[in-house]
Amino acid sequence: MNLELSLTENEKKVLKALIKGLPLVKEPYKALAEELNMSQEEVISAIKSLLEKKIIRRLGATLRHNLVGFEGNAMVAWRVPEERVEEVGKYFASKPFVSHCYVRKTYPDWPYNLYTMCHAQSREELINLIHKAKEELQLEECEILFTQKEIVRKHAQYKIE
């Protein structure tokens, strides 16, 4: 991938390292700085610049839910009245059991427009959380699509020049 924006050498070094992922240590920026032969301040400055240039949107962690004891994992497709999508989406985005919340296009044979990826320690707990949300929001329809198997891909490789 060639980036049209001009990047400093420090930004390039930091971006390449971030694509691989931050080290899982108490002080990840310090460890990254040592790995890149930079100061911690230079690393943080480069990250801030990459955020400002919108090269990266955020830094986050990907939690492998099934490996840390979350056996209840499901994509829930919700049928939400169009005028309530923002309200309902914000409700779900604030809930700790929801990791992702998206609005999508509907189809004649699939009327669901809001999708949440939900997690709990068991299927039973997850079903209870979903039903509680359904009652609180006074929503009529949803489809619970339980995860059958997680397929994990390796990090994408990008060429940064």
Residues in the chain: 161
Confidence class for position 79, pLDDT limits 50, 70, 90: very high
The per-residue pLDDT for range 18-68, each reduced to its tens digit, is 888 888 889 989 999 999 999 999 999 999 999 998 888 877 665 555 555
Give residues with Cβ within 8 angstroms of 27, minimum separation 6.
Answer: none
Domains within the chain, CATH numbers bracketed: 9-52 (no CATH), 65-146 (3.30.70.3460)
pTM listed for this prediction: 0.61
pLDDT for 18: 87
Higher pLDDT, 62 or 128: 128
Percent residues over pLDDT 70 in the chain: 84
CB 71 within 8 A of CB 121: yes
- Burial string for 62-74 (b: 16+ CB within 10 Å, else e) reads eeebeeeebbbbb
Handedness of CA 141, 147, 148, 153 (dihedral sign): positive
Pairing of strands 98-103, 114-120: antiparallel
